[in-house]
Amino acid sequence: MNKKIGMYASIINVCAVIAFAFCMLIGNDFGSYLVCMFIAFSFVPMICTFTFYSSFEKKVAGNTAMVFAGMYAVFILFVYFAQVTTVRLDNLNEQALQILSYPKFGLFFSYDLLSYGLMAISTFFTGLAVEVKTKPDKWLKWLLLIHGVFAIVCFILPIIGLFRTGMEGAEWIGTAVLVFWCVYFTPVSILSFLHFKNQ
């Protein structure tokens, strides 16, 4: 059962990541928000499966990864559920939109970056916990560890105000960064599937 959960979670995760990139490239905001929730839904059991298969000496790293994965899921679901419900369906005034609407680069956009920072911390600790048995496992470990660097970027960008309403080109930068992230994270999900399959 544990192996199957990890494998299915990895498959859902890679499909959601690819769908996320596709929706961003065609400019479908609703689709982007919706599939992002499935990245979170699949990421948590994926990380839990890594922890389950980690050795006793690596359980602290694995448990830390699970906690940060849960924190990521809460923030990301908080942001994107608001986008597909309240922001999309309610007639909000400009001030409310400034805070809640993702494209306005307001509070919820900052929460979104925070969530990706938490995800990056989770993958870093997962990289410390993963049991390397094959060459693909070694690649997976390094991809997870390097992904942890995204945490620094995700914390710094909102603080320095890179994304501000009316900032010309900011939307393009955000899309480019997220598409790059999708390209980076796709092999992580695929290698995770192979890792669980070989358990």
Token pair, residue 117, equals 């920072």
Q: Count how many domains the chain has.
A: 1
Q: What is the pLDDT of residues 110-165, one digit of tens each?
A: 888 899 999 999 999 999 999 899 999 999 999 999 999 989 988 887 787 766 65
Cβ density class 40-49: b for 16+ within 10 Å, e for less: bbbbbbbbbb
pTM above 0.85, yes or no: yes
Helix 107-129 / helix 135-147 crossing angle, nearest 10 deg: 150
Q: What is the pLDDT of residues 27-48, one digit of tens each?
A: 888 899 999 999 999 999 999 9
Q: Which residues contact 7 (CB under 8 A, 6 or more apart)?
A: 193, 196, 197
Q: How many helical (H) and strand (E) elements, i.e. helices and strands, does the chain have?
A: 9, 0
Please give the residue range of the domain that contains residue 18: 2-197
